[in-house]
Amino acid sequence: MRPLIDHLRRFADRTAVLTETTELTYGQLADRVEACAPTLGERRALVLLEVDNDVDTLTHYLAALAAGHVVLPMPAGGDTATLTATYRPDIVVDRTGVRHVDTGGHVLHPDLMLLMSTSGSTGSPKLVRLSRTNVAANARAIADYLGIVETDRAATTLPMSYCYGLSVVHSHLLVGAALILTDRSVSEQQFWDLFVAHRGTTFAGVPYTFELLDRVGFSHMKLPHLRYVTQAGGPMPSERVRRYAALGERRGWELFVMYGATEATARMAYLPPHLAQSHPQAIGVAVPGASLTIEPLDGWPDDESGELVFRGPNVMMGYAEHIEDLADGPTLQELRTGDVARRCGPGLFEIVGRTSRFAKIFGLRIDLQRLERTLAGHGVTALCTDAGERLVVVAEGPHSPADVRRVVADAAKVPVGAVDAVAVPELPRLPSGKPDYPRARTLVTPRPEGDDDLADMFADVLHLDPSDITDDATFVDLGGNSLTYVTMSVRLERMLGHLPADWPRLPIRDLRHRPAPRQRWWRSWGSTVETSVALRALAIVLVVASHAGLFEMWGGAHILLGIAGYNFARFCLTPLPRRRRVRHLGSTIGWIALPAVAWVAVALVVTDDYHASNLLLANKFLGPHDSMTAGRLWFVEVLVWTLAALALLLWLPLADRAERRFPFAFAAVFLAGGMVLRYDLPGFGLGRDAWFTMLAFWFFAAGWAAAKASTSLQRLAVTVVLIVGVHGYFGNTVRELLVTVGLVLLIWLPAVRCPAVVAVAAGAIAEASLYIYLTHFQVYPLFGSHKLYGVIASIVIGIALSAVITQIRHRWRDRRLTKQNRARVPALR
């Protein structure tokens, strides 16, 4: 026990672990490990450890190693039945605590330290046996070539049950560096808040991680302490390697592209950062203390290529497939990787193919033959192969592609969106009768199938061609805006049973398989409604009821203006390129302005409420100013012209770059400008009518700043400005309190729980809020003194009109798609 604990105590007061709530020094970590070790028993045992990236997991892992046990890490909540039945662990450590099992003990080789799953996600009991020498040698090599120092702080972006993620733990604890423990994804703002707060210097990623980084605008983030980023877990496209290497060069950090396998304890090769742009396809050079060679391979057409063979102290002891194998000593001196490689530069190697039937998807090594056997067990004869980061399945016979995809995804433990499937009358084969896998890849269209697929819902809500929806697309990417957002959020809640806070920027693939949050007893009833949706529904009801005279509770329109700014920041100011952002903003303006102008045109025919200036949504500019009815649409005018002005501003490259680099500060400038006009500091003397002019823009700016606030301090600053600004604004305490409470809730409360029927009603009202606002002025007067009926009718008619417009859009889309399909027929023939 002593050597590991003594190693931890060497670093004494240095920071060892950081989380959202905890900070431990090495001395404190050593105390926890020493206290925990006795709970695992004195007899050397096999410990199955269900891991989260948290302090408890790290403590139990180190305690098991310190006590000399053999550890088998597994993902928390995963299926461990096969492994438990095969290896009969003596001790199980999970979220419920430590559980001792009476197995009679096992014969464990003295050098055996760690068992890691090698089949990735296919549920195979085949494990990699790793010794203390393997782990220590690889940790030293990684710390050496990465240049890890005591001041480094690494965020755990990968699970500790994965050899890549565990190698981050080993290499940093070896040199006295710190770990930022978190299970959060790089797609979540909370991850970056934690990373910046704890002065993170590095994080690790598989290829999919870098796709997420592209989506969250990583290139514009301010990460002042970032020193280097590592990538492994499968090949990354050369273009992306070059781009991130160049980004690191500009921003002062380095990109390390690496190559490895569980059988080598983690890392076998790395690409020196200065070669990433000139040799982005390379896996690099062997890690310190090891070597790579290329050995001839029969049947491979390229004489310069061969099987890549690795030699070094981190080559595994061997595989285990049965409990008796745990007693065996080392059986390998070298690792034949199964990868076909060639030299591509000074001491560099490049992977050009595979000799075996494995694929790497999301950093998981997947046995394709095992997947074929699994399908056969379901009565499906099929060929399984891969295409980049996707599995490709061709099934023979009248099988449902959707059912095939689900079986494969379940067996491989990957998202359904990562599997493409097709059913054919006969499997493609070579003249020799062997399966023709290259041909199989060409038979599958990379489009998820199934009537219940989220992609179909996105196409339906956004009025898009279903064939244009990919699993990589997000709501924002597809042109979603504040109007379609309500419909989508309500339908997602029904389908998923939960609503991730960051769903508008999550790809469909992640939404489909994002786990539901752990439920608390007080959350176990009703449905979740996003606060912006609930406030939108409440505000429009207050607007209609106050105008109809059912009661007076003014301020709903100003809450709606704040919500509009909040949604503008979320759905228009996205990481998309400048032209697409402005185009998206123009589309949003059209969704608001066109229905408003159309309704004004109808009202001009049947009433005398409006004037020609209302057709331009410019009554506040052009008058008449003495009309009792022409100014009713002030809210729509303020919103449309505000969005139009911002679209013109953001078209300027300088403004676009400034907003991307300093999103909160950019919004805060506009909020400050709004406050200057709100208090009339220039002395314009606009008077109380400014409530209903473009000067009300500051409510919009407050919502905008709230959405871009990424820290509690920033949210607090917006809250203070809001409270100060609203005080005395209306000269009515109730109205000011209503607006303040509503917008403060928007800032601090992401969602609310309510009975399902209330959630459905709120969603329907919020979705139709624009149409309710436009039409209610002409509806409630029809009911005279029956004010309650007038309010109800206004809401019902607005909802009905919204449904009619939606159906019209659907039919227009279907007609457009039909014409496109007809146009394609001659070309296909």
- What distances in angstroms separate CA 522 from CA 526, 578, 752, 790, one per listed residue? 10, 43, 12, 37
Which pLDDT does position 823 carry in this prediction? Answer: 42
According to the per-residue pLDDT averaged within each range, which of 319-333, 361-375, 380-394, 512-526 is highest?
A: 319-333
Which pLDDT does position 503 carry in this prediction? Answer: 75
Q: How far apart are CA 195 and CA 19, in angstroms?
A: 10
Give me the mean pLDDT over the 690-698 stretch.
Answer: 71
1 confidence band (pLDDT: 50, 70, 90): low
Which pLDDT does position 827 carry in this prediction? Answer: 28
User: Strand order of the sheet with strand 306-311?
Assistant: 291-295, 306-311, 335-345, 348-354
Q: How far apart are CA 227 and CA 152, in angstroms?
A: 8
Q: Is the pLDDT of residue 828 over 50?
A: no
Which pLDDT does position 117 carry in this prediction? Answer: 86
Which pLDDT does position 733 carry in this prediction? Answer: 92
Say if CB 599 and CB 797 are below 8 A apart: no
Which pLDDT does position 61 carry in this prediction? Answer: 97
Say if CB 396 and CB 421 are below 8 A apart: no
Tell me what percent of the residues of the chain surpass a pLDDT of 90. Answer: 54
Domain 367-443 CATH class label: alpha beta
Say if CB 474 and CB 505 are below 8 A apart: yes
Q: Is the pLDDT of residue 821 over 70?
A: no
Give me the mean pLDDT over the 174-179 stretch.
Answer: 97
pLDDT tens digits, one per residue of 422-477:
889 888 876 545 577 778 888 876 544 333 457 767 776 776 655 567 777 787 77
**Plot region of 413 (φ>0 → left; ψ -120 to 50 → alpha; else → beta):** left
Q: What is the mean pLDDT of the chain?
A: 86
Give me the mean pLDDT over the 100-113 stretch.
Answer: 91
More confident residue, 722 or 806: 722
* Least confident range of 174-183, 355-364, 709-718: 355-364
Cα separation of the two ends of the chain: 74
Say if CB 234 and CB 206 are below 8 A apart: yes
The two structure tokens encoding residue 223: 């990460």
Which pLDDT does position 432 carry in this prediction? Answer: 45
Give me the mean pLDDT over the 242-246 stretch.
Answer: 96
Which pLDDT does position 299 carry in this prediction? Answer: 57
Instruction: Output phi, psi for 229, to 5 deg.
Output: -125, 140
Which pLDDT does position 417 carry in this prediction? Answer: 66
Say if CB 229 and CB 219 are below 8 A apart: no
pLDDT tens digits, one per residue of 271-282:
999 999 999 999
According to the per-residue pLDDT averaged within each range, which of 314-323, 478-487, 757-766 is highest?
A: 314-323
Q: How far apart are CA 63 and CA 52, in angstroms?
A: 16
Q: How far apart are CA 395 and CA 371, in angstroms?
A: 12
pLDDT tens digits, one per residue of 409-421:
888 877 676 788 8
Instruction: Output phi, psi for 542, to 5 deg.
Output: -65, -40
Burial label for 288, CB within 10 Å (0-12, 13-18, 19+), is middle
Helix H or strand E segment including 531: helix 531-548
Count how many Cα atoms sit within 13 Å of the Cα of residue 118 in the half-sphere of its side chain.
21
82 confidence band (pLDDT: 50, 70, 90): confident
**3-state SS assignment for residue 95:** coil
pLDDT tens digits, one per residue of 507-553:
777 776 554 444 443 344 456 778 888 999 999 999 999 999 999 99
Q: Is the pLDDT of residue 408 over 80?
A: yes
Which pLDDT does position 810 carry in this prediction? Answer: 63
Give me the mean pLDDT over the 201-211 stretch.
Answer: 90
Which pLDDT does position 599 carry in this prediction? Answer: 94
pLDDT tens digits, one per residue of 620-657:
788 887 787 888 898 899 999 999 999 999 999 999 99
Q: How far apart are CA 414 and CA 823, in angstroms?
A: 37
The two structure tokens encoding residue 765: 């009202």
Give me the mean pLDDT over the 693-718 stretch.
Answer: 90
Which pLDDT does position 430 carry in this prediction? Answer: 60
Which pLDDT does position 456 carry in this prediction? Answer: 64
More confident residue, 373 or 65: 65
Which pLDDT does position 442 carry in this prediction? Answer: 83
Handedness of CA 299, 305, 310, 316 (dihedral sign): negative
Burial label for 486, CB within 10 Å (0-12, 13-18, 19+), is buried
Show Cβ contacts of residue 749 under 8 Å, excluding neighbours closer than 6 positions.
531
Which pLDDT does position 678 carry in this prediction? Answer: 86
Give me the mean pLDDT over the 402-412 stretch.
Answer: 84
Give me the mean pLDDT over the 577-591 stretch.
Answer: 87
Say if CB 702 and CB 721 are below 8 A apart: yes
Give me the mean pLDDT over the 51-73 stretch.
Answer: 95
Q: Is the pLDDT of residue 225 over 70?
A: yes
Which pLDDT does position 516 carry in this prediction? Answer: 45
Which pLDDT does position 124 carry in this prediction? Answer: 65
Which pLDDT does position 250 carry in this prediction? Answer: 94
Which pLDDT does position 493 carry in this prediction? Answer: 67
Q: Give the number of other CB atoms < 10 A from CB of residue 82.
A: 11
Domain ranges in the chain? 367-443, 530-542+554-752
Which pLDDT does position 362 carry in this prediction? Answer: 66
Say if CB 639 and CB 570 are below 8 A apart: no
**3-state SS assignment for residue 296:** coil
Give me the mean pLDDT over the 106-123 stretch.
Answer: 79
Which pLDDT does position 581 carry in this prediction? Answer: 85
Burial call 133-147: b when 16+ CB within 10 Å, e when fewer: bbbbbbbbbbbebbe
Q: Is the pLDDT of residue 590 over 70?
A: yes
Which pLDDT does position 15 carry in this prediction? Answer: 97
Give me the mean pLDDT over the 386-404 stretch.
Answer: 84
pTM of the model: 0.53
Say if CB 703 and CB 565 are below 8 A apart: yes
378 confidence band (pLDDT: 50, 70, 90): confident
Q: How far apart are CA 118 and CA 319, in angstroms?
A: 9
The two structure tokens encoding residue 495: 């389908």
* Least confident range of 114-118, 120-124, 506-510: 120-124
**3-state SS assignment for residue 212:** helix
Q: Is the pLDDT of residue 576 over 80?
A: no
Show Cβ contacts of residue 233 under 8 Å, excluding neighbours closer than 6 positions.
158, 164, 205, 206, 207, 360, 362, 363
Q: How far apart are CA 660 and CA 524, in angstroms?
A: 39
